[in-house]
Structure 1
Amino acid sequence: MTERADLLASLQRHRGFLLFTVRGLTEEKVRLTPTTSALCLGGLLRHVANTERSWCAFAAGGADGMASLPQVDWASAFAMPAGATLADVIADFEAAAAETDLLVEKLDLDQAHELPKAPWFEPGVSWSVRRVFLHLIAEISQHSGHADILRETIDGQKTMG
């Protein structure tokens, strides 16, 4: 297997875990916030789609590419907007995933860009495109774990085990 195939397989596997957590749920249940956090399953899918788009814009065009995207309010990005359906959120999640997968196949994994200026990034540090995709795998995995806890709290369903 090639490195690109490994990256794609890992992205797809962890996205699959996240999608599994909403399987068979009603519109009402994907909006529930059953833990002390404000997280809901539909909101996690939205956040991951936005995160993939943001980091892919960075991978393709550096900090300027990332900055060219519309600003997303961090807090509301984890919620299901009024009128949005689970089907809408899944379609957007899958579209973002497909966009990412195309970039994994075509971008130079060794190309590096300086991280945007932000308090959480060390000034002057660069990330390779490879590291961006590894970061996305970690992000998706982390949020899949959050989603698994939410789903188990809602109805006892587990992604694994």
Structure 2
Amino acid sequence: MTATHHATTPTKTSPEATGERADLLQALAHHRRFLRLTTRDLTDEQAGRRTTSSELCLGGLIKHVTSVERSWVDFIQHGPEVLGDWNSMTEADWAARADEFRLLPGETLAGVLERYTEVARRTDELVGTLPDLDLSQPLPPAPWHEPGTRWSVRRVLLHLIGETAQHAGHADIIRESLDGTKSMG
């Protein structure tokens, strides 16, 4: 039997962040906290369990949100090439992406949460030190991106806030289905 994990470690806003940056990072931290709360006191086995008809589990949701945030921060720093071309993904690419939503053998909830903390810290530090939130990059090819669309750092942060909030809600439903515990209700 694996040990239970406490998942309430807060993400601090970068000390350099003020004004709009601090507001955006605070909103992101708020939703990160709710997402993390859904995993409090769970074992690895519980974090990997599907509790609804969805393929989602709590550990997988944390992995997914971590991957999404890491990818978008890479996009801010290095451009659209780091996100790849969704139009040319292979079956192997899609299979690897599906694994992002599961807690795989050998993965632990504590490890997944630690990686999430590291990615959050990186995001917060970057946002606190960027010269301008209006810096933008073109979006890579994808069926859901209009050709020629650009996203600013601000727009990426708004996307991350929305993504994290949406998945925190999914996680709350999964946790309630697991053992009746609610994070947001």
> Partner amino acid for 1:139?
E
Matches of 2:163 and 2:24 in 1, distance apart?
Answer: 14
1:147 and 2:154 correspond: no
8 A Cα contact 1:18 1:144, kept in partner: yes
**1:24/1:84 Cα in 2 relative to 1: closer, same or farther (>3 Å)?**
same
Q: How many pairs were matched up? A: 159
Matches of 1:87 and 1:128 in 2, distance apart?
Answer: 33
Cα displacement (A) at 1:66? 3.3
Task: Look up the SS of the partner of 1:28 in the other structure.
Answer: helix
User: What CA deviation, in whole Å up to 9, does each residue of 1:90-122 have, x standing for no partner?
Assistant: 100111111111111122200111100111111
Alignment-derived partner of residue 8 in structure 1: 25
Task: Look up the SS of the partner of 2:53 in the other structure.
Answer: coil
Q: Percent identity?
A: 51
> Partner amino acid for 1:117?
P
Matches of 2:154 and 2:129 in 1, distance apart?
Answer: 12
Task: Look up the SS of the partner of 1:127 in the other structure.
Answer: strand
Matches of 1:86 and 1:7 in 2, distance apart?
Answer: 27
Looking at CA atoms only, which structure, 1 or 2, has the larger radius of gyration?
2
Detail structure 1 runs of 4+ shifted over 6 Å in the superposition: none
Matches of 1:8 and 1:128 in 2, distance apart?
Answer: 15
1:117 and 2:134 correspond: no
Matches of 1:81 and 1:38 in 2, distance apart?
Answer: 13
Q: How do residues 26-45 of structure 1 correspond to structure 2 at under 5 angstroms?
A: 26-45=43-62
CA RMSD in angstroms comes to 1.6
Q: Can you give the 5+ residue segments of structure 1 that lack an aligned partner in the other structure? A: none
> Partner amino acid for 1:3?
E
What TM-score does the superposition give when structure 1 sets the normalisation length? 0.94
Q: How do residues 50-129 of structure 1 correspond to structure 2 at under 5 angstroms?
A: 50-67=67-84, 73-107=96-130, 108-129=132-153
Task: Look up the SS of the partner of 2:75 in the other structure.
Answer: helix
8 A Cα contact 1:32 1:40, kept in partner: yes
Q: Can you give the 5+ residue segments of structure 2 that lack an aligned partner in the other structure? A: 1-17, 85-92
Cα displacement (A) at 1:160? 1.9
> Partner amino acid for 1:152?
E
What TM-score does the superposition give when structure 2 sets the normalisation length? 0.82
8 A Cα contact 1:113 1:127, kept in partner: yes
